[in-house]
Amino acid sequence: RLIREHGVTHLNAAPTVLIGMANHADAAPINGSLVITTAGAPPSPTLIAQLEDLGARIVHMYGLTETYGPHTVCEWQPEWSDLPPVERSRKMSRQGVPFIGVDPIRVVDESMQNVIRNGEHMGEVVMRGNNVMLGYYDDPEATERAFAGGYFHSGDVGVWHEDGYIELRDRSKDIIISGGENISTIEVEQALASHESVLEAAIVAVPHEKWGERPKAFIVLKDGAEATERELIEHVRSRLAHYKAPDTVEILDQLPKTSTGKIQKYVLREKEWSGYESRIN
């Protein structure tokens, strides 16, 4: 309502805020031009498609406090206009390429070698540039660890696409290692978000006697919507390798979040690992 009444042309918001807007009962196509800049967490292709349907243009950025805010932008390419909506929103959900004025961003393996640019091989996102911090205050050891190899280590795990765009797969601490296979929680969350009844989704690792750990989904459904655990699991299995699908799904009224709207996965994780001496099962 406020966007329509006041002719808002630019809006900055985290994905969790945009989810609420796009799924509000009064959501309707926007008359005029609205540019939405989003960051703080990876927006799902489903959310981007919803916002485009409402008439908004999305600018997706990525960065950290240590990089003085945005470091990359998912720069729009003219040829994307001709892509089917699903494929276009998939490209727009990537974290993109570095801003002018910073060094080229890299995705590297444990030896600081670039991973293959095929959108599949995962590595850590590292950055360098005059926007990157000098170090952590009064903590030389943490600073040395963060800048090992001459680049700032983001702690984010991602892939590098052939066109040079990076895409986050997870925080390194959130990657699920199940039977020796790495599972990206972001990838599974985006698959769940594409279900018509799902408003929000969070995936965390839970202990498993055989596989060490397995994904569990925490879901918030849209108002008035219904979905069974089996239905949601099969939805993910229809889009991803079967081993990536959650074993269990828990429906919640809301997900725990910070004041800025970031999902507090550690709160969900703590409950599941209560009673275990180690998080490596």
pLDDT digit string, tens, across residues 53-93: 999 999 999 999 999 989 999 999 999 999 999 999 999 99
pLDDT digits (tens, 9 = 90+) for 5-28: 899 999 999 999 999 999 999 899
Cα(157)–Cα(150) distance, rounded to whole angstroms?
18
The pLDDT, as a whole number, for residue 138 is: 96
Percentage above 90 pLDDT, the chain: 86
Tell me which residue of 121, 124, 117 sits closest to 148, measured CA to CA.
124
- At position 243, the amino acid (one-letter code) is Y
The pLDDT, as a whole number, for residue 279 is: 53
Give yes or no for a contact between 45 and 190, defined as CB atoms under 8 angstroms apart: yes
Domain 176-273 CATH (choose: 3.40.1400.10, 3.20.20.100, 3.30.300.30, 3.60.70.12): 3.30.300.30
The pLDDT, as a whole number, for residue 59 is: 97
For the sheet with 122-127, list strands across it: 106-108, 122-127, 152-160, 166-171
Give yes or no for a contact between 122 and 174, defined as CB atoms under 8 angstroms apart: no
Q: Give the residue-averaged pLDDT of 262-274.
A: 91
The pTM score is 0.87
The pLDDT, as a whole number, for residue 101 is: 87
The pLDDT, as a whole number, for residue 274 is: 84
Please, what's the b/e burial string for 83-113 (b: 16 or more CB within 10 A of its CB; e: otherwise)? Answer: eeeeebbbbbbbbbbbbeebeebbbbeeeee
Domain 2-98 CATH (choose: 3.40.50.720, 3.40.50.980, 3.40.50.1220, 3.10.620.30): 3.40.50.980
Mean pLDDT, all residues of the chain: 94
Domain 106-171 CATH (choose: 3.40.50.300, 3.40.1190.20, 2.30.38.10, 2.40.50.140): 2.30.38.10
Domain boundaries, the chain: 2-98, 106-171, 176-273
Question: Looking at the predicted structure, is the pLDDT value of residue 97 above 70?
Answer: yes
User: Residue 127 is encoded by which pair of tokens?
Assistant: 């950055």
Q: Give the residue-averaged pLDDT of 209-231.
A: 96
Question: Looking at the predicted structure, is the pLDDT value of residue 280 above 60?
Answer: no
- At position 234, the amino acid (one-letter code) is E
Question: Looking at the predicted structure, is the pLDDT value of residue 210 above 80?
Answer: yes
Question: Looking at the predicted structure, is the pLDDT value of residue 276 above 80?
Answer: no
- Strand 10-12 to strand 34-38: parallel, antiparallel, or no bridges (unpaired)? parallel
The pLDDT, as a whole number, for residue 122 is: 95
